[in-house]
Amino acid sequence: MSVNQQAHTGPPYGQPQPGYQGYQQPAYGGQPLPGVPQSQYGVYNGPMPGYQQPVPPQGSLRAPPTSGAPPPASGSSLPSGHLAYSQFGHGDVQNGIPASAAPMQRPPASQPFLPGSAPTPVSQTSTFQQYGPPPASVQQLSNHMAGMTIGSTTASAPPPAGLGYGPPTSVPPVSGSFSATGSGLYTPYTASQGPPPPSVSQGLPLAQSPFPGQPISTQRLPTQVPGFAPPPSSTGIGPSSYPPTTGAPRAPSMPGPPLPGQTVAGPSASQPNHVSSPPPPSTMTGLHPGPPMSGLRGPPPPTHPPQPGYQMQQNGSFGQVRGPQPNYGGAYPGAPNYGSQPGPPPPPKRLDPDSIPSPIQVIEDDRNNCGSEPFVTGVRGQVPPLVTTNFLVKDQGNASPRYIRCTSYNIPCTSDMAKQSQVPLAAVIKPLATLPPEETLPYLVDHGESGPVRCNRCKAYMCPFMQFIEGGRRFQCCFCSCVTEVPPHYFQHLDHTGKRVDFYDRPELSLGSYEFLATVDYCKNNKFPSPPAFIFMIDVSYNAVKSGLVRLICEELKSLLDYLPREGNMEESAIRVGFVTYNKVLHFYNVKSSLAQPQMMVVSDVADMFVPLLDGFLVNVNESRTVIVSLLDQIPEMFADTRETETVFAPVIQAGLEALKAAECAGKLFIFHTSLPIAEAPGKLKNRDDKKLINTDKEKTLFQPQTSFYNNLAKDCVAQGCCVDLFLFPNQYLDVATLGVVTYQTGGSIYKYAYFQLETDQDRFLNDLRRDVQKEVGFDAVMRVRTSTGIRATDFFGAFYMSNTTDVEMAGLDCDKTITVEFKHDDKLSEDSGALLQCALLYTSCAGQRRLRIHNLSLNCCTQLADLYRNCETDTLINYLAKYAYRGVLSSPVKTVRDALISQCAQILACYRKNCASPSSAGQLILPECMKLLPVYLNCVLKSDVLQPGPEVTTDDRAYIRQLVTSMDVAETNVFFYPRLLPLTKADVDSDSLPAAIRNSEERLSKGDIYLLENGLNIFVWVGVNVQQGLIQNLFGVSSFSQISNALSTLPVLENPFSKKVRSIIDMLQVQRSRYMKLIVVKQEDKLEMLFKHFLVEDKSLSGGASYVDFLCHMHKEIRELLS
């Protein structure tokens, strides 16, 4: 095969809109071909039938098609009535990247394309060819990334014998079915060459091996355009505009006259045969068969040599006629003039944002493909649906994706292969994740005195992958292969398949996730733990009292104490509570049930903290209710006239720690704090905020704690099981980077309410506090991840403390926290046995019960890179990369961290291009199907406040976000980095569903509409200047745009369908997120709009972040440099 032969690559950029009226053509002239089932598409050049969406056969939801039929594409959109535009010149890329100077040789006219497959002789008509005049040198076709195609070819293979393809074309068929992710970009061949080998690509045959002789593993079906269905999988028709050559004769090859409205190209110059010049815009948006026009030929070929990056089409390949497009200058005004000299060169074109991979489209396709069927976890290495898809999980031996998600479900067999691909192997684990009500919680298994059955050598817990041998008397460990005796009480006979006969009765043999009741050996000091305690520690300095915060907290606690977490069947919570207030000194309260009034004890020696009372500090809520209510009534009055502005901080944590030590229990401190602790005391801080350090080598100090005091304090807290949750209410710099250390290392949560105001922030704070107090927490937790031979856990990210290299220790672990684990090879893996992970979490429940929660997951292993790239999960990959980068800023300059991210992703994509995509020109950008969103999401991470802050972002904000993201799960990072944007005016007031999301770009907003944007922390409601008065009245209760208040923190409750619908959407979104999002109303052209635009992540950012289009060009340039 000649190096320059362009084998069937991924499709060019250009994607249809869902519901876009294009033309599909299964057969020439509308006659069905012999032996080919009638397609659901319209006839060639004929009228378009209504779309039918055939229902896919049950059960085949995620299997590859059984023949070489390329499934249709997924794509994003163009306005209806415009054809997908995708023809760029080859090889020149915007941003001053020089076009390739090396002349490209055209492949010889006839060449074998792969031994062993008989080429089908094919001749092509030339009726549709067009070319535009070459650009003047000034106007080197500046379309960003000329000639790039996003395909996702995996490797070439001969087509199945007897499966003829029609002549491939280098441009999309005139049907709207062509997209950047589907119908392949077909390379033109002359009659003697035969069709190119199809390659396994986004929307290309998957039933063939990616390498001759290599079986291909099942893969997610390439995404599909809503509104188009794949052709029946037994036909050989792809969504190309050509029929398969099943014996049907074709029209003769040249000089047939063109149809009306089309030009014919002259002979082609010596250029690669798969990229054509942009066609001139035709005035016709579709082609109509008509009588041939005699005697017309195309314009004469230009006499000067063609420039690189602007190729003409080879004879016989089909160009495309396209309708007028928005934002595109036409090369010819009006209709093309036939037979005359070309007009002036077209103006430089900008890459159409609709033609590059759309997150919205990918999310939508996954919902359509995977949302209806339950995800059954019985199969090894199965890629789960995306986090944005609503699906049910059936545990059949592997942990649910709600507990564990991996960056890849098929990992390389060798470390060399892993290094080559640069794809990080990581798992994002959320051990105590909340399940939807329809799914069963993990079963609790009690093995009595003897405790859980474990491997003698590696101490792995009994799980579905253990192998029972010798009639069930012994078992072989699936992690280390050691053989262990089965304890007599656990013995059970095996059936004829080697399974124990009690297989389905025991969760640990049949399920991926379950719990064991731990024995006393698993407890501290070999004694069972006491139930945990909650201590509420309230800042009563001047700021806190003046803002109304102290009164608010005290009022809320009166009712909140009835909602402390409790085990499922218990009448009341076993958790005891205590209260402390503080400013420069600490006040402890005795709320013993026998007292008539609470007693206050003051500790003013903050340098040597102790707890002045043991009995009566931690109490049962129900027993001491009257005393507690009396205390909460008195606190706001006692400090109403305070003049004390200074606060301490470290002694507050020490006090809580000492109280838990004295009570011999684990627990949680809820600290409500307002200012930088500058009072004389241990852990005293100074204001070191300095914006001048940004973009210097010293910037990293802004993220580091100013003193090691808090690290040592955190270590003591973890040893006691004292978790710290921090609620911050700063009016100025507070040093979150230092104050957050103890929270972060104990597994706690930080909440921050800058410039707290009662009327606007009260709802958010109270909702956060309620959820934080009520949520499920495990105390005194230790987590270990075991792996089968060949890989091991080497790195960990999250809110925890590690005293050795294997144990992740957390004073508290709640249902929202994740721990991210990276794996590295320490040996070879085998494809047969795959790889296993077991995450074991030892913790104390809120009732004081010591438990072990076990999650198991089996992954596939591969010797071909194509299999790795086919089973990756981009959302998880971005979650890992963000955490890796956010940790990097502690030790390296931010620019170094950003460059490393870009370089790693370029290597990932270049390795795919080099090893898995079929040969094609460097002018094309080819992305793996499951990684096509890697560039857009990576750009969002690079533009985030931590890595590229705008001028308005404070140092505290950056430290806060950095800590927040480090323990986020995959769903949270997904919406945090690429926010969800919903057009509220398009919402159907009669249905429960959300309006369809749109892409995060200003050009998608219309002045006459209202939009909602959410990112997990904020909800913006953006109101366009031209919104109808009636809508404004219905939503805001005011009569005009100018009367809408910016200060709204909730929408007014109005009795009309639109108001009810919008408020129900907001409530629905609030429930999905772990924090209560702040509502911000933004009027178009208002000062707040700058803040809103910061979240339109596909656009350029004010802080210098690239737009999605520009970043894609930059990634393409990086990949080309690596390949060359």
Q: What is the pLDDT of residues 850-861, one digit of tens each?
A: 999 999 999 999
Q: Is the pLDDT of residue 17 over 80?
A: no
Pick the range with the lowest mean pLDDT from 98-102, 836-840, 880-884, 915-919.
98-102
Q: Quick one: average pLDDT of 341-349?
A: 55
What pLDDT is attached to residue 1068?
A: 95
What pLDDT is attached to residue 483?
A: 97
Cα angle vertex 845, ends 843, 847, to 5°? 150
Q: Quick one: average pLDDT of 673-701?
A: 95
Average model confidence (pLDDT) across the chain = 79
What pLDDT is attached to residue 348?
A: 54
What pLDDT is attached to residue 614?
A: 82
Residue 600 — pLDDT band, cuts 50, 70, 90?
A: very high
- Does residue 166 contact residue 122 with C-beta atoms inside 8 Å? yes
What pLDDT is attached to residue 314?
A: 34
Q: Is the pLDDT of residue 584 over 90?
A: yes
What pLDDT is attached to residue 40?
A: 43
Pick the range with the lowest mean pLDDT from 3-7, 71-75, 170-174, 910-914.
170-174
Q: Is the pLDDT of residue 1075 over 60?
A: yes
What pLDDT is attached to residue 950?
A: 84
More confident residue, 247 or 370: 370
What pLDDT is attached to residue 344?
A: 55
Q: Torsions phi, psi of 723, nearest 5?
A: -95, 140
What pLDDT is attached to residue 20?
A: 41
Rounded percentage of the chain residues whose pLDDT exceeds 70? 69
Rounded CA-CA distance 202/584 in Å is: 64
What pLDDT is attached to residue 568?
A: 79
What pLDDT is attached to residue 343?
A: 54
What pLDDT is attached to residue 238?
A: 35
Rounded CA-CA distance 640/997 in Å is: 49
Burial of residue 51 (number of CB atoms within 10 Å: 0-12, 13-18, 19+): middle
Rounded percentage of the chain residues whose pLDDT exceeds 90? 66
3-state secondary structure at position 841: strand
Question: Which residues, 6+ apart, have CB-to-CB distance to 616 below 8 Å?
Answer: 590, 591, 592, 595, 599
What pLDDT is attached to residue 349?
A: 61
**Region of residue 371 (phi > 0: left; psi between -120 and 50: alpha; otherwise: beta):** alpha
What pLDDT is attached to residue 1010?
A: 97
Burial of residue 1096 (number of CB atoms within 10 Å: 0-12, 13-18, 19+): buried
Pick the range with the lowest mean pLDDT from 682-686, 922-926, 1120-1124.
922-926
What pLDDT is attached to residue 244?
A: 39
Q: Is the pLDDT of residue 225 over 90?
A: no
Residue 102 — pLDDT band, cuts 50, 70, 90?
A: very low
Q: Is the pLDDT of residue 233 over 50?
A: no
Residue 245 — pLDDT band, cuts 50, 70, 90?
A: very low
Q: Is the pLDDT of residue 172 over 60?
A: no
- Does residue 694 contact residue 700 with C-beta atoms inside 8 Å? no
More confident residue, 937 or 372: 937
Going by the DSSP 8-state scheme, the letter that residue 403 receives in this structure is T
**Model pLDDT for residues 1062-1073, shown as the tens digit of each residue:** 999 999 999 999
What pLDDT is attached to residue 23?
A: 39
Q: Quick one: average pLDDT of 195-199?
A: 39
Residue 951 — pLDDT band, cuts 50, 70, 90?
A: confident
Rounded CA-CA distance 352/355 in Å is: 5
What pLDDT is attached to residue 347?
A: 54
What pLDDT is attached to residue 567?
A: 86
**Model pLDDT for residues 489-517, shown as the tens digit of each residue:** 999 999 999 999 999 999 999 999 999 99
Show the tokens assigned to 858.
Answer: 């089996």
Q: Is the pLDDT of residue 1111 over 50?
A: yes
What pLDDT is attached to residue 346?
A: 56
Strand ranges inside 312-409, DSSP E = 375-376, 393-394, 404-406
Q: Is the pLDDT of residue 236 over 70?
A: no
3-state secondary structure at position 898: helix
Give whichever of 199-208, 213-222, 533-542 has the largest mean pLDDT: 533-542
Residue 246 — pLDDT band, cuts 50, 70, 90?
A: very low
What pLDDT is attached to residue 221?
A: 36
Listing DSSP states for 23-86 in one string gives ---SSGGGPPPTTSPPPSSPPTTSPPPPP--PPPPTT-TTSPPSSSPPPPPP-----TTSPPP-
Q: Is the pLDDT of residue 998 over 90?
A: yes
